[in-house]
Amino acid sequence: MNTTSDASDHGSKISWVALLILFGVWGLHAAVDLVIFKEAEVPPYYDAANHTNIAMEIRDHFDRFEPSLAWFDELYEISSYYPPCYHLFAAVCLKIRPQTLDSVRLPNLFFLGVLMLSVYLLGNLLFDSRTGLLAGILISLFPVVHGLTREIYVDLAVLAWAAAGAYLVLASDRFGRKGIACLFGVVC
């Protein structure tokens, strides 16, 4: 821990090497998960089946697109209980690769990347780049996070957006940086 009174190390610049290492670790997670997706084709059950159905309904709703408020109301009514982000990403993946459960799990890899990047940025903002890198890698190795990348649940998406929101609210400098404050509003 830095015990000097000089706080110039805190909030250091983003290290491209650290981002490259973070991307490499994310790539390893993605490769392992894609192999597991191919080998273990277990049908979804309970909530996972519900999330799969919601994603398929949203995908089908996009096929009937018409620029009207009624269309957006119907989209909202498909699942007004769950946050829409996961299901929208899953619906897009289902458009690209229909009829596979892998497509419904793929958004988790994106959200794992968002989580790792957000935690890295938080660590970098509060301490330094090395701390952020270690935190970004460690959070991806937590058993619950690692396990959620293989499941069809919204939990990893919510965790990723919460970490992104935490970073953005701190980076907005008490909402003084308007662009980052607006991005915080979009994320939350």
Tens digits of per-residue pLDDT, 30-65?
Answer: 999 988 888 877 777 888 999 999 999 999 999 888
Residue % of the chain over a pLDDT of 70: 94
Q: How many whole angstroms separate alpha carbon 99 and alpha carbon 107? A: 15
Q: Is residue 3 part of a domain?
A: no
Q: At what angle do helices 46-63 and 101-126 cross, to 10 degrees?
A: 100
Q: How many whole angstroms separate alpha carbon 12 and alpha carbon 111? A: 25
Q: How many domains does the chain divide into? A: 1
pTM over 0.75: yes
Q: Is residue 170 part of a domain?
A: yes
Residues 82-95, buried b or exposed e (16+ Cβ, 10 A)? bebbbbbbbbbbbe
Q: Is residue 2 part of a domain?
A: no
Give the range of the structural domain holding residue 129, as residue numbers without chain letter: 16-37+44-187
Give the pLDDT of residue 133: 96
Q: Are 130 and 181 in contact (CB under 8 A)?
A: no
Q: Is residue 58 part of a domain?
A: yes
Q: How many whole angstroms separate alpha carbon 9 and alpha carbon 6? A: 8
Q: Is residue 5 part of a domain?
A: no
The C-alpha angle 11, 24, 22, rounded to 5 degrees, equals: 15
Give the pLDDT of residue 3: 43
Q: Tokens in use for 183?
A: 């991005």
Kindly report, residue by residue over 102-121, the tens digit of the pLDDT: 889 899 999 999 999 999 99
